[in-house]
Amino acid sequence: MTRIQELASIISTNTDRIDAHLTSRGLPTPSFDADAPESLDLPSDLQAARVLVIEASTELKELLQGPKELLMSNSSSQFVSLRAIYHYKMAETFPVGSEATFVQISEACGLNEPDVRRILRHAMAHRIFREVRKGVVVHTAASRLLAESRQLKSWTGVNVEEMWPAAVQTVPAMIKWPNSQEATHTGFSIANDTQDSIFVTLGKDPKRAARFGEGMSAFNTSGGYELDHLVNHKIWSTLGYGLVVDLGGSHGDAMIALAMKYPSLKFVVQDLPRTIESRPTTPPNVADRVEFLAHDFFEEQPIKHADLYFFRWIFHDWSDEYCVRILRNLIPALKHKSRMIINDACLPEPNTLSNGAERQIRSMDLAMLQIQNSRERELQDWETLFVKADPRFKFLGVTQPKGSKLAIIEAIWEPVV
């Protein structure tokens, strides 16, 4: 069998399995229609089948394209339509389930009709909106999310208005500040004409801070980043009536999820003031056990003797020098056997992941470069970080929950007594 035949067979077999499951339960078949579910709800073996189909169909497509077409298929304009749709709030100009003409959308959003038409037709080629009759637009499942999901809107806003401009300026930043590890020497710095880091910049603008927090919340519910992987880890049930402090915890999603499952634990979520202020209301059933506190992790930790200090997606935002500072700022607060958990990626050896997972993790690594001059780390890097910070941190190792894109990196404070 040739590779393309093999791929076609993987696609066919696994698509049949998914289809049989959906059909036998009367569940809707995947579609781009506005009423399609936000994601496919499948049991874990069929989620694996879904990933196999996606991986195989991508490889098949790219093999059949050939190298020339593959290289030339990267479009520099891919985010123009999405950014325009986001900026002009085009998805919100007419209700889901109804129709609108390009003229009506233009009048509602304030952009001239010819540009509305070309922007939307570009997006339609990517399944966002559909032209049901000439000049008449309806929502698809993707444009419905842009119209109705606050989190998805924010995620898109962060992507097209914070990340993308920074990406464009990343190589100029590398040329301007060679080998810099500073969070103020980045594509983000050039794109925003600022000498502040992204987090200081967002901290000065409540709307941007709130949007970033909501965008992070969207991440926490999607492909491999779901909080279940964290919540189901064995460590939490060993903490008894313990106190957990989440540094850079944004709107508290992780601690709220843990509080729901572990009623004896108490939590403090720390972040910069604008992020803490912009959080949504905490669910009432856990509000008495999840406290929010503005705290800059480059200052000394004010909550003493917690059982566990937690960092999710924090260290990948900072170069080593700054990570060491973050860890050292904990030391005055630590008690014997305080635990540290870092919930971040642990880069595997090259070519050990599926291509889809490899693309995602390498993109995240570059995203960290473009906004913070930081990076994703390998196992050895994590161990070294604790050693550099203080030899009294004992590195316990890394576990990779099945299906999770983030690892659990553990250390314990063990000064000689």
How far apart are the C-alpha atoms of 221 and 254, rounded to whole Å? 11
The answer to whether residue 79 forms part of the interface with ligand SAM (CB under 6 A) is: no
Does 276 contact ligand SAM by CB under 6 A?
no
294 φ/ψ angles, rounded to the nearest 5 degrees: -70, 125
Residue 413 near ligand SAM by CB under 6 A: no
Among residues 34 and 272, whose Cβ is nearest to ligand SAM?
Answer: 272
Query: Considering only 8-16, 80-88, 132-140, 295-303, which stretch makes contact with ligand SAM by CB under 6 A?
Result: 295-303
DSSP annotation of 178 reads T
Examine residue 374 and tell whether it contacts ligand SAM (CB under 6 A).
no
What letter represents residue 175's amino acid? Answer: I
Two tokens, residue 168: 């464009």
Query: Are the C-beta atoms of 376 and 368 separated by less than 8 Å?
Result: yes
Which range binds ligand SAM by CB under 6 A, 92-100, 142-150, 313-321, 389-397?
Answer: 313-321
Considering the rule CB under 6 A, would residue 315 count as an interface residue with ligand SAM? Answer: no
| H or E element, residue 79 | none
**Residue number closest to ligand SAM, CB atom:** 248
**Which residue number, 60 or 272, has a Cβ lying nearer to ligand SAM?**
272
Kindly tell me the sign of the dihedral angle through the C-alpha atoms of 284, 285, 288, 290: negative
Give the one residue of 14, 93, 151, 275 binding ligand SAM; rule: CB under 6 A. Answer: 275
Residue 296 lies near ligand SAM (rule: CB under 6 A): yes
Select from 108, 94, 86, 107 the least CA-distant residue to 137: 94
Which of 250, 301, 338, 404: binder of ligand SAM (CB under 6 A)? 250
For residue 390, give the H/E element and its range: none
Q: Which of 86, 236, 267, 313 binds ligand SAM (CB under 6 A)?
A: 313
Q: Quick one: 122 or 377, whose CB is closer to ligand SAM?
A: 377
Query: Which positions ≥6 away from 182 have C-beta within 8 Å?
Result: 319, 373
Burial 263-300 (b: 16+ CB within 10 A, else e): eebbbbbbbbebbbebbeebeeebeebbbbeebebeee
Window contacting ligand SAM (CB under 6 A); options: 29-37, 182-190, 268-276, 382-390: 268-276
72-80, 188-196, 278-286, 312-320 -> range binding ligand SAM (CB under 6 A): 312-320
User: Residues 185, 229, 251, 316: which is the catalytic one?
Assistant: 316
Q: Is 128 in the site for ligand SAM (CB under 6 A)?
A: no
- The verdict on 271 binding ligand SAM (CB under 6 A) reads yes
Contact of 40 with 32, CB cutoff 8 Å:
no
Closest CA to 269 of 231, 235, 233, 297: 297
* CA–CA separation, 361 and 347 (whole Å): 8
Residue 214 touches ligand SAM, criterion: CB under 6 A: no
Among 153, 211, 279, 312, binds ligand SAM (CB under 6 A): 312
Q: Which range binds ligand SAM by CB under 6 A, 52-60, 269-277, 373-381, 387-395?
A: 269-277
For residues 224 and 403, give the distance between their C-alpha atoms in angstroms, rounded to a whole number.
6
Beta 407-413 vs 308-312: how paired, if at all?
A: unpaired
Task: For ligand SAM, give the closer residue by CB, 34 or 368.
Answer: 368
Residues 6+ apart with CB under 8 A from 349: none
Q: Does 215 bind ligand SAM (CB under 6 A)?
A: no
Smaller CB separation from ligand SAM, 128 or 368: 368
Q: Is-catalytic flag, 233?
A: no
| Sites of contact with ligand SAM (CB under 6 A) | 199, 216, 220, 248-250, 253-254, 271-272, 275, 296-298, 312-314, 317
- Residues designated catalytic: 316
